[in-house]
Amino acid sequence: MDTLRLIQPADLGRLGQDTTKLAKLCTKGELVRIRRGVYATSEEWKQLGPLQRYGAQAAAFQAVVATQPVLCHATAALLWGLWIVGVPNKLHVVTEVVGSGRSSKDVVRHVGSRMDNTVGCGPFLLTDKLRTTMVLIGELAFPYAVAVCDSALREPHPQHAVNRFGPAGVEAGRHEPSWVTDGPQGPALSLDELRMAASLLPSKAARERTLAVINFASALSGSAGESISRAKMHQLGFPAPILQKKYTLRDGKTALVDFWFKEQNVAGEFDGKAKYLRADWGGGSMEERLWKEKCREDDIRGQGVSFVRWTWRELQDRALFTALLRRAGLPQA
């Protein structure tokens, strides 16, 4: 399930029931308190994954504040399907009042316009894709900013485009957005749009830093792990790879590898667990998928290509990642 039914004291009051029962039901383990004044049944809560629970927290926050919040930063990024790593530990919203309590235990308030560059997605208001992308590029470290930018450039796969966006304040019909998206949502941004937005930044340093990310970005990247890998290779002084290199296998089918280093004839692949769990990745059990991947790699190796693979573990350890690439025969400047 992607959404759950929120329960508030007023719901029981309208039914003529004792609202103090909510606290008792929490103590008994039948309800879960999402935030003050908002609950859900334990049974439904247990069915939600981390991103779905984060979305429920956003809905609960919206249910108790006087003015509908405008979601921004990492919170908006999830609805746009932009590639951020992990689950944010706080909600991010826009406020137009300077010094009104920039943050709290679970909500970060960012000063900005609640009207400009804002769209609707189901019951939520959020910053549009360009605004969300530019803010994150400006705040994240280079590899993670590249991941966001790469994803913003990608056209959504028709089968995975589940979230619908429209003008703020316009009723979009009965649409419950998904917080767990398999790829970017909404129309892709263009490099020209991003560069124009960068040119409007107030300082030269901000413009240069942002353009460094934009000019490095590529719509060919297939995942956050691939984007971060490519950015870290660049930072470590390794040669720039060709992305999504095509190979023809013995059975005539086409296979893509994440990276190909032409001069060394080395193929590189980032192995994230999600790769083997995707619904469109060949079907069959995990064992069958792993076997197909081994056969695919053996076929490509048979064409004289060397292979190097890494996971999040190596990617997050500078020394490990460097050593792995060097052992594969890649030169380091």
pLDDT tens over the chain, length 333 residues: 556 789 888 876 654 566 677 888 888 898 999 998 899 999 999 999 999 999 999 999 999 998 999 999 999 999 999 999 999 999 999 988 765 556 678 999 999 988 899 999 999 999 999 999 999 999 999 999 999 999 999 999 988 899 999 988 766 556 789 999 889 999 999 999 999 999 999 999 999 999 999 999 999 999 999 999 999 999 999 999 999 999 988 888 889 999 999 999 999 999 875 543 444 444 456 577 676 777 788 888 888 899 999 999 999 999 999 999 999 999 999
End-to-end, the C-alpha distance of the chain in Å comes to 49
Are 145 and 211 in the same domain?
A: yes
Are 40 and 59 in the same domain?
A: no
**Is the CB of residue 162 less than 8 Å from the CB of residue 79?**
no
pLDDT reported for residue 81? 97
Establish if 2 belongs to a structural domain: yes
Q: Which domain holds residue 287?
A: 224-327
pLDDT reported for residue 76? 98
Are 196 and 265 in the same domain?
A: no
Report the C-alpha gap between 130 and 94 in whole angstroms: 15
Are 87 and 149 in the same domain?
A: yes
pLDDT reported for residue 321? 98
**Is the CB of residue 6 less than 8 Å from the CB of residue 60?**
yes
Are 208 and 251 in the same domain?
A: no
Establish if 333 belongs to a structural domain: no
Helix residue ranges per DSSP H, the chain: 9-14, 21-27, 42-46, 50-64, 73-80, 129-139, 142-153, 191-199, 204-216, 224-236, 286-301, 312-315, 318-327
Residue where a domain stops, chosen among 183, 216, 249: 216
Are 189 and 286 in the same domain?
A: no
Q: What letter does residue 273 receive in the DSSP assignment?
A: G
pLDDT reported for residue 227? 98
Amino acid at 213: V
Which residues have a Cβ under 8 Å from the Cβ of 253 and sit 6 or more positions away?
A: none
pLDDT reported for residue 272? 72
Are 13 and 44 in the same domain?
A: yes
pLDDT reported for residue 252? 86
Torsion of CA 91, 92, 96, 99, to 10 degrees: 70
Count of Cβ atoms closer than 10 Å to residue 18 Cβ: 10
Residue where a domain stops, chosen among 185, 216, 247: 216
Are 70 and 42 in the same domain?
A: no
Q: How many domains does the chain have?
A: 3
pLDDT reported for residue 68? 92
pLDDT reported for residue 99? 59
**Is the CB of residue 308 less than 8 Å from the CB of residue 268?**
yes
Q: How far is CA 130 from CA 15, 268, 312, in A?
A: 44, 31, 28
